[in-house]
Amino acid sequence: MSKSQLILLLPLLSLALLHTVVDTCALLVSPLWTQFESTFQLTGSSLSMIFIVQSMPTSISQVVFGYLRDRKASTYLVWLGPLFTVLCLTTIGIADDLFLLCALLVIGGIGVGAFHPDAAVVAGGMLEGNRTRGLSVFMFGGSLGLAIGPAISGFVTSQWGLLGLAALAPILLLVIPVLWWQIKRGLSLEPTTDEPTKKSLGEMMEGRVGLAVMLLLICSARLVPNMAMDKVIAFTLDRHGADQMMTGLLQSVFLTSASVGMFLMAMKFRSGWEKRFMVGCPLLGIPLICVLGWKDCPLWLFIGTLIPTGMVLWGTAPAMVSYAQQLFPKGAGLASALTMGMAWGIGGLIQAPITAYFRSIDEPQAAFFAYTPCLALAALGAWCLPFRSADEQQPAETT
């Protein structure tokens, strides 16, 4: 790669690293579910409630900010969202009652939601001619954060307790302005348009609101196992006597494999194959999560199966976002919010009572079997979607 090419890529790489910071903070809570369950005496309904509190603010706020972004383009949330995220989600350890914990999760989740729509649209336009590859680089940064977040949280809390998480805040708050300074260089390179910036919802969706709802439901069903994975891993390992550090490491194994999948998407993805991935990957995921749900599954096989599961179900998620942006080019921010935010929230809403129920009967691993119909429905629904999208009108690119 030449020096000039590297200079052009630096803004995208900086945006991906900022995504790493945001998603690292988003998953600091992952190894702590069993501790919070014990500390706040959470049971079936209250456990389900806190799962929803953790996932829904991010999802709902992404739709709101995505809609606002498409009405009036701006970029200030690309740095402001991460600031709120870091300040709130690194301080969950100070919560001495359930209300304060929920408040920090809600405000931090809104910060996460504020960042993603603007950042995804910017990333999609930074590699001219291949939106999916640009989004894959951006989402690879996020998956890297998701991968290291549980491991960092598990290590820090094992060594210094929950209050140790707050020590991460000063470091991350210093990183944000440095990355933003580099990202701003890339914003001036984005193509301009003469179209008015303020558009109605109908204009953003080009009169195909029903299709947008269908896409949202398909993506939501596809993401049910993803949203449950950190909880089920934590509860399953708790039955094996694992501590928070080990739980965080194994959650990171799953999410590191997702990072590998996104890296491969960034390097090798063939433009125009988005729908194929949306149909095929949920089907490939069904036998994998059935192995994870096997009650007598040896721990080594459980851990080993997490790797291909992460690559197939999480690592290929950029295809959904790219497909949505191509399907609704006039509402790219809202399309990103639906597939990166609202779909994850609805997926979390679906899994919450399922996961909490199987935890309440002390069979958390069996929840995996309850997620398989969601994957089957997602594949069937994706097969019914339009095959061609805006970027596919041009010849497909290969690396």
Which residue, 70, 78, 71, is CA-closest to 114? 78
**Whole-number pLDDT of residue 137:** 86
Helices (H), the chain: 3-26, 33-39, 44-71, 77-89, 98-124, 131-160, 168-187, 201-204, 209-222, 224-239, 244-268, 274-293, 299-309, 318-327, 332-337, 343-360, 367-383
- What is the SS3 assignment for 40? coil
**Whole-number pLDDT of residue 272:** 80
List CB contacts of 106: < 8 A, sequence separation 6 or more.
53, 57
- What is the SS3 assignment for 270? coil
Identify the DSSP state of 18. H
Burial class (CB in 10 A: 0-12, 13-18, 19+), 363: middle
**Whole-number pLDDT of residue 243:** 84
Superfamily of domain 10-186+201-388: MFS general substrate transporter like domains (1.20.1250.20)
Tokens of 80: 């402001």
Which residue, 293, 256, 271, 268, is CA-closest to 375? 293
What is the residue-level pLDDT of the chain in tens, covering all 399 positions? 555 556 668 888 999 999 999 999 999 998 998 889 888 988 878 888 898 898 888 888 888 887 787 777 778 889 999 999 999 999 998 888 899 999 999 999 999 989 988 888 888 777 766 676 787 788 888 888 988 999 999 999 999 999 999 999 999 999 999 999 988 877 754 444 444 456 666 667 776 888 889 999 999 999 999 999 989 999 998 888 888 888 888 888 888 898 888 788 777 777 788 889 999 999 999 999 999 999 889 989 998 999 999 999 988 888 888 888 888 887 777 777 788 778 888 998 899 999 999 999 999 999 999 999 999 999 999 999 987 544 444 443 333
List CB contacts of 293: < 8 A, sequence separation 6 or more.
365, 366, 367, 368, 369
Identify the DSSP state of 312. I
Cα-Cα-Cα-Cα dihedral sign, residues 306, 311, 313, 317: positive
Q: Rounded distance, CA 366 to CA 43, Å? A: 18
Domain ranges (residues) in the chain: 10-186+201-388
**Whole-number pLDDT of residue 321:** 82
Q: Rounded distance, CA 300 to CA 317, Å? A: 26
Cα-Cα-Cα-Cα dihedral sign, residues 207, 210, 212, 215: negative
Amino acid at 283: L
List CB contacts of 197: < 8 A, sequence separation 6 or more.
71, 72, 73
Tokens of 139: 């989402």
Angstrom distances, CA of residue 76 to CA of 24, 171, 187, 285, 338: 21, 21, 12, 38, 20
CA 45 to chain CA centroid, nearest Å: 25
Q: Rounded distance, CA 171 to CA 169, Å? A: 6
Which residue, 27, 298, 18, 325, is CA-closest to 174? 18
Q: Rounded distance, CA 309 to CA 195, Å? A: 42
Tokens of 393: 């009108």
